[in-house]
Amino acid sequence: MGAPCPGNPNALGTSRTIIVDPVALPRIGSIQYKTTLALNDHEVALTFDDGPLPPYTNRILDTLAAECVKVTYFLVGRQATAHPDLVRRIHNAGHVIGTHSQNHPLTFDQMALTRIEREVDAGIASVQAAAGDPRAVAPFFRIPGLLRNKQVETYLGTKSIAVWSADEVADDWFKNATAQDIVTKAMSRIEAKGHRGILLLHDIHPATAMALPILLRELKAKGYRIVQAVPAGDRPKTLPEPQQPALVADAGGGWPRVPASACTMR
């Protein structure tokens, strides 16, 4: 089992890590590929797509920290640019950061190669810039909507980036999904896949944030262990928090405001 969890001796924790080399394992996830992580019986790897987005990413990070569970995030470039503080919090909490394109278009299976290249490369550059250190970003990519095709996979292969699918999904993006719906689908599908797998979730939905504590309790109660996939090579231990613009009091007694000198046009 993993190291003790400060403040929570009964935490689910993270039992072990698996090093993923994109050359040896270029495509991951049995939903779409013949290869996936080498998980043992009752081992699960948790992944989160589409963020970061407050307050839901914050809530999910709090839940993971309370249980000392480490996961993999696939961040959207424009979201990372908007919330660099959350990108750095994710890394500093011990999670792995992969990428998920710049704008999350649900047309990767139809786009011309030039646009695929722009979406992939801009997404990586944006997340690296938000992190403040390119070494904090793993060579892991998940195609938006899992809309794969050979052209996308070949391009990612030329950049030595592992393409991630999943072994199970919990349909947490459905408009009317409740927390219990998400937990029920996640558990039943993990069990149906041989009591193991990579679970795909999203950290931008309130229902997912509410479901996660329940899901972690269910996994622990049924004897599951959490495994984290990590890239080969060194990563920075911590990233400095981005500097936030100072707030100044409004002379008219209203809300504090950001000084004009700290604002930029978009």
Cis peptide before 22 (omega within 30 of 0): no
What six digits make up the tokens of 177? 């999904």
Catalytic residues, by residue number, are 49, 202
Q: What share of the chain is helix, strand, coil (3-state, %, to 5)?
A: 35, 20, 45
> What string of DSSP letters covers 169-212?
E--TTSTT--HHHHHHHHHHHHHHTTSEEEEEEETT-HHHHHHH
| H/E stretch holding 150 | helix 150-158
Rounded to 5°, the CA angle 77-83-86 comes to: 105
